[in-house]
Amino acid sequence: MKLDTIIRGGRLVTASETTRTDLGIAGEKIVAIGKDLARGAVNGATVVDAGGRYVIPGGIDVHVHLELPFCGTVSSDDYDSGTRAAACGGVTTVIDFAIPYGEESLQQAVDNWHARAEGKACVDYSFHVAITKWERHKKEVKKMFDQGLPTFKQFMIYEKEGWQSDDAALYEALETLSGLGGMLLVHAESSRVLDLLIERHHKPAEMKKHGAYLHTITRPNFVEAEAIERVIHWTRVTGGRSFIVHMSTAEGADLIKNARNDGVNILAETCAQYLVLDDGLFAQKDGHLYATCPQLKKPADQKRLWAGLRDGEVCSVSTDTCTFTRKQKSMWEGDWTKIPMGMPGLETLLPVVYTHGVRKRRLTVNQFVDKCCTTPARTMGLFPRKGTLAIGSDADIAVIHPTLARKVDFKNMQTHCDWSPFQGWPLAGFAEHTFCRGRQIVRNYKFVGRNGYGQFLPRSLT
């Protein structure tokens, strides 16, 4: 068979095994896996030497926000810089959230997000559809499935943004989606208690004293835990399928574990920042930069989330990329409720999880692939096209050096961000080479892809 590219001599890693072998690509697909594909005449195939490297499936970040109007500004990474960053981090698929604003329909939101991505995306992409007004939006749900969009999102907070869903909306959305074979993603925080705590602490003296640490004071762990309990309850009674996004607490992991043991069809992801950063950062100079929602928690939560990744109650790691520059973050002027919430992450997802998971022996290299590539593809209806190295799968591949660490410096990165939560950290696991559907988009750590190459991925969960 004529091969276009041979990745030679690497250690191929899937969620279940590691094998020293070659991999052959023809067109957009993996067509051969075996020893010595590059022996003798290679018939014009490009040979990429992966000796001493891991060859892994491209990462799948199922939680990103690109060019998101939020907190009175617009997040600064768009489909150009955001997907370049993804490529350099070895991520070949991103799933964003199409969110209706004001009275917009679901269709308008989806059309808006298609317009943001088309012609710009350098890696493949899809969308979750955010339901912000259930009574208006419910009639459109079936139509979304017909467009390859089977995953929806509801927010239990963000009343001011007009995004909030109440329990009736959660209940009926779970019921409806379960009949159609869909899944509901939920931002789970207890809004009334959160609002009360914010109001209680929103005082000049407290802001002067605590600064950005008021995020921690007003969002104790029970704010997330109570909301997750409610989602578990509604998922159980409807027989629906739900997915807790950006879970950040030990209590959340315990609840998900018990619910799954009881047969409730619920999954939960965490994000890289909750595994390696803690709320002690708010006390530092520029601590406000780290404000994200939910906010960073404690080392004990990190420990529980790593254990959850190993044991299964935390199914995957994403980034919740929502980038704001220093200038945008400076809008806070000492009031924590005005900090645009979110941080960059796409370029550092695999390096952070690889370095702090695999290198620190918290995860095996196969678990790393499972949590960042295979399970995200499975849960979001992309497997086996994406998320694995198998004959017939898309040739979405990252080649990473197992030990060589590169120092994070936002100045050398693709993100439109003038700071990094991991600035100066030595991280192994950056993509030396990345392929997306057979095309090389990163070579020797340099982006060589092009805007518009990334394709929309219609999905189905059944």
Q: Is 9 in the site for ligand URP (CB under 6 A)?
A: no
Distance CA 385, CA 372 (A): 15
77/320 with CB nearer ligand URP: 320
Q: Is 154 in the site for ligand URP (CB under 6 A)?
A: no
* 23, 10 contact by CB (below 8 A): yes
37/291 with CB nearer ligand URP: 291
Residue 46 C-beta-side C-alpha neighbours within 13 Å: 11
Q: How far is the CB of 219 from Zn ion (least distance, A)?
A: 12
Helices (H), 35-184: 81-88, 106-117, 134-137, 141-146, 167-180
* 91, 124 contact by CB (below 8 A): no
Q: Is 322 in the site for ligand URP (CB under 6 A)?
A: yes
Q: Can you tell me which of 293, 296, 353, 365 binds ligand URP, judged by CB under 6 A?
A: 293
Q: Is 153 in the site for ligand URP (CB under 6 A)?
A: no
Q: Is 320 in the site for ligand URP (CB under 6 A)?
A: yes
Helix (H) or strand (E) holding 51: none
Residues within the interface to Zn ion (CB under 5 A):
187, 320
48/169 with CB nearer ligand URP: 169
Q: How far is the CB of 394 from Zn ion (least distance, A)?
A: 25
Q: What is the CB neighbour count within 10 angstroms for residue 84?
A: 26
96/279 with CB nearer Zn ion: 96
Q: Is 341 in the site for ligand URP (CB under 6 A)?
A: yes
Calculate the alpha carbon distances from 197 to 162, 200, 219, 229 in Å. Answer: 20, 5, 8, 20
| Subset of 10-69 contacting ligand URP (CB under 6 A) | 65
Residue 341 interacting entry, from ligand URP, Zn ion, none, C-beta within 5 to 8 Å by type: ligand URP
Residue 360 C-beta-side C-alpha neighbours within 13 Å: 13
| Subset of 159-188 contacting ligand URP (CB under 6 A) | 187
Q: How far is the CB of 380 from ligand URP (least distance, A)?
A: 16
Planar angle of CA 299, 217, 66, nearest 5 degrees: 75
Distance CA 386, CA 14 (A): 12
Task: List residues binding ligand URP (CB under 6 A).
Answer: 65, 187, 292-293, 320, 322, 341-342
